[in-house]
Amino acid sequence: MPHDAEALVVLSRVEKRFGDLVVLRDISFSVARGKTVCIIGPSGSGKSTLLRCVNALVPVSSGSIRIDGIEVNDPALDKIALRRKVGMVFQQYNLFPHRTALQNVMMAPIHVLKQDRREVEERARRLLARVRLADKERAYPGELSGGQQQRVAIARSLAMSPLVMLFDEVTAALDPETKKEVLFTIRELAEDGMTCMIVTHEMGFAREVADHVYFTEKGVIVEHGPPSELLVNPREERTRAFLDQVL
Amino acid sequence: MSELPVLLAPRPLLSGGRDPASGLFNGTVLASVLVALGISITIGAARAQAGVVGAPGVATLLVKWAPLILEGFLFNLLVSVLSMLAGTILGVWLGLTRVSQTAMLRRAASVVIQFFRNAPWLVLLFYCMFLLPFSIALPFATVPLPDVAKAVIGLSLPVMANVAEIVRGGVQSIPLEQWESGEALAFSRRQILWMVILPQCLRRMIPPWMNLYAILTMSTTLISVVGIQDSMTLARAALVAEGRTDLFIPMYLMLLSWFFVYCYPIARWTAVLERRFRVRI
């Protein structure tokens, strides 16, 4: 496995149990700065849990996750410090419905990073323009389509200037048309050099955007490799069976 | 083929069915009935008295005592506002403790809430009147604790417990994903609570809170039982002073209608807000 000095996220022997149920078993890999990895696999294979462990929404049972020098599996972990470095976008967008699109983007930088309001507002406007929603800054989440809400969620996460972005099946709740807008936005981000960890069921997208793809099943990494190999010519029978099913 | 009678939708017995409007209708009818009853009794009693030479009519007596009893009524309202204020402040704090992350705090808050929600208001009032000291000795001064203050404390306890339940219900009505996305943005739990969760559930909490206030206002007459001079005490005193049995019903009816006039709009407004919030979630 690639363990170069530029690794931003390093997971080693990560295990997660919920009671007797083992959700993640012996997960080890790393993500280099500026690279994009995609995690694919059947539902219930622990992909979402893996992402949630990375930003400490879910504590790991054993093993180590290091992000830019911060050990996540540390009882004295400063979760706030960790989460400043890690952005996350959810399947259900989870925007704050009582705030406008612009306010959603501005809240965390102002209240968490204590940055100057005017500066933040300017940056928030730029971010909304970047996700092509400059004209929607005054809209409330309820007035936006799913794809638009998801792009606001991406802008909101980017406003914290994270080192790495986690995407948890962000297009699973969207129709094919709006899916494209969101995937396009993420691809642009990846091309601009953002480090991304993406859990997705979109194989075409994974092939375009990923530097490395991991196939997980039942909480273990079955196989990994560059998308051109893993998605086209998998070595493992299980990977092939999964790809046959989804493609 | 004819429909099976069992499958037919139940028909409302009266002409009702239009829920909100009929509610308003019922209220108006009730108010008119009350007023009409009051007038007829007053007039009837006045007629009956007319035979007695020199005795003033019931209406005259009501007018004579009204200012004093009104003063008592305003005092009841003052007690209701103070109790609501204290109960709300304590209740918000207790309700937030009830949803704390620390299991022990949660459990302790739950016990307090259950205890004060399920205790009779009058019993709580008695306890406060007789168990609280006359004054509280602080290092720099001795603060007297008049009966009114004790009564306000006594009434604010059940209010506190009910407000805590309203807060708990409101906070728990917001999906957990809101907490998660707040946490992912590096907000602290406290920040999420005050900036994300509470602003969203505030609108839902207002109608039950207003409802509670209306109930409290009517319950303030309990303080007359523990010896505080409120509108009930004054009405009774007036009756004793006049010593006329025919005054009894009109006098209390007058007081009752004041409470009704004060509380009914609150109840209506609550219903309107509830309907509005139900549509817009």
The pLDDT of residue B173 is 93
Cβ contact B177–A92 (<8 Å): yes
- Could you give the CA distance from residue A2 to residue B117 in angstroms, rounded to a whole number? 61
Q: What is the pLDDT of residue B118?
A: 95
Tell which phi-psi region holds residue A94, choosing left (phi > 0), alpha (psi between -120 and 50) or beta.
left
Tens-binned pLDDT, residue by residue, of chain B (281 aa):
444 444 444 454 444 444 444 455 566 666 676 666 666 655 655 555 555 556 788 888 999 999 999 999 999 999 999 999 999 999 999 999 999 999 999 999 999 999 999 999 999 999 999 888 888 888 888 888 889 999 999 999 999 999 999 999 999 999 999 999 999 999 999 999 999 999 999 888 999 999 999 999 999 999 999 888 999 999 999 999 988 888 999 999 999 999 999 999 998 998 888 887 764 44
- Whose structure tokens read 């601009």? A192
Which residues are CB-neighbours of A6 under 8 A, at least 6 positions away?
A32, A33
Domains of chain A, each with CATH number or no CATH: 7-246 (3.40.50.300)
Phi, psi of A16 (to 5 degrees): -135, 125
The verdict on a CB contact (< 8 Å) between A90 and B199 is no
Helices (H) and strands (E) in chain A, counts: 9, 10
* Contact state of B178 with A94 under an 8 Å Cβ cutoff: yes
Determine the distance in angstroms separating the CA of A79 from the nearest CA of chain B, rounded to an integer. 7
Does the beta-carbon distance from A83 to B186 stay under 8 Å?
A: yes
Q: Which CATH superfamily is domain B63-279 in?
A: MetI-like (1.10.3720.10)
**B194: closest chain A residue by CA:** A111
> What is the rounded distance in angstroms from the CA atom of residue A184 to the CA atom of residue A205?
9
Closest A-chain CA to B179: A94
What is the distance between the alpha carbons of residues A148 and A178, in angstroms, rounded to a whole number?
8
Residue A1's SS3 state is coil
DSSP state of A30: E
Q: Would you report the helix, strand and coil content of chain A in percent, each value rounded to 5?
A: 40, 25, 35
- Going by C-alpha positions, the residue among B83, B73, B27 that lies closest to residue B216 is B83
Is residue B246 within 8 Å of residue B49, measured between CB atoms?
yes
Q: How far apart are the CA of B269 and the nearest CA of chain A, in angstroms?
A: 23
Nearest Cα residue to B165 out of B274, B92, B270, B101: B92
Task: State mean pLDDT over A219-234.
Answer: 93
Question: Residue A24: in which H helix or E strand, if any?
Answer: strand A21-32
- pLDDT category at A17 given cuts 50, 70, 90 is very high
Q: What is d(CA A21, CA A239) in angstroms, rounded to the nearest whole number?
A: 23
Which chain B residues are closer than 8 Å to A83 by Cβ?
A: 183-186
> d(Cα A51, Cα A160) in Å, to the nearest integer?
18
In chain A, what residues touch B187 (CB-CB under 8 Å)? 108, 111-112
Interface test with A, best of B173, B183, B185, B188 (most A CBs within 10 A): B185
Instruction: Say if residue A95's pLDDT is above 60.
Output: yes
Q: Determine the 3-state secondary structure of A216 from DSSP.
A: strand
How many other CB atoms are there within 10 angstroms of residue B279's CB atom? Answer: 6
Strand order across the beta sheet in which A7-18 lies: A21-32, A7-18, A62-67, A70-71
- Name the helix (H) or strand (E) containing A167: strand A164-168
Bridge-based pairing of strands A212-217 and A195-199 is unpaired
Of A80, A94, A98, the CB nearest to B180: A94
Distance in angstroms (rounded) separating the CA atoms of residues A61 and B195: 31
**Alpha helix ranges (H) inside chain A:** 47-54, 79-85, 101-111, 117-130, 146-158, 176-191, 203-209, 227-230, 237-246
Given a cut of 90, whether residue A49 has pLDDT beyond it is yes
Helix B198-219 and helix B58-98, axial crossing angle in degrees, nearest 10: 140
Check: CB of residue A98 under 8 Å from CB of residue A113.
no
Measured CA to CA, the distance from residue A165 to residue B230 in angstroms comes to: 65
Beta bridge partners of A21: A18
| CB B188, CB A80: distance < 8 Å | yes
For an interface test with B, the pick among A55, A72, A85, A111 (most B C-beta atoms closer than 10 Å) comes out as: A111
Chain A residues touching residue B180 (CB < 8 angstroms): 57, 90, 94
Domain positions in chain B are 63-279
Contacts A–B by Cβ distance under 8 A: 53
Question: B53 or A177, which is more confident?
Answer: A177
From CA A79, how far away is CA B180, in angstroms rounded? 13
Which token pair is B209? Answer: 């809170």
Model pLDDT, residue B56: 82
Q: How far is B180 from chain A (nearest CA, A)?
A: 7
Q: Could you say which of B178, B181, B188 has the minimum Cβ distance to residue A80?
A: B188
Picking from B186, B199, B200, the nearest residue to A108 by CB comes out as B186
- Which amino acid, one-letter code, is at A45? S
pLDDT in tens, B107-130: 999 999 999 999 999 999 999 998
Query: Is pLDDT of A204 > 60?
Result: yes
Q: Please indicate whether, in this complex, the C-beta atoms of A107 and B178 are within 8 angstroms of each other.
A: no
User: CA-to-CA distance for B224 and A228, rounded, in angstroms?
Assistant: 85
The whole-number pLDDT of residue B33 equals 66
- Residue B100, SS3 per DSSP: coil
- Closest-CA residue to B233 (of B122, B84, B77, B75): B75
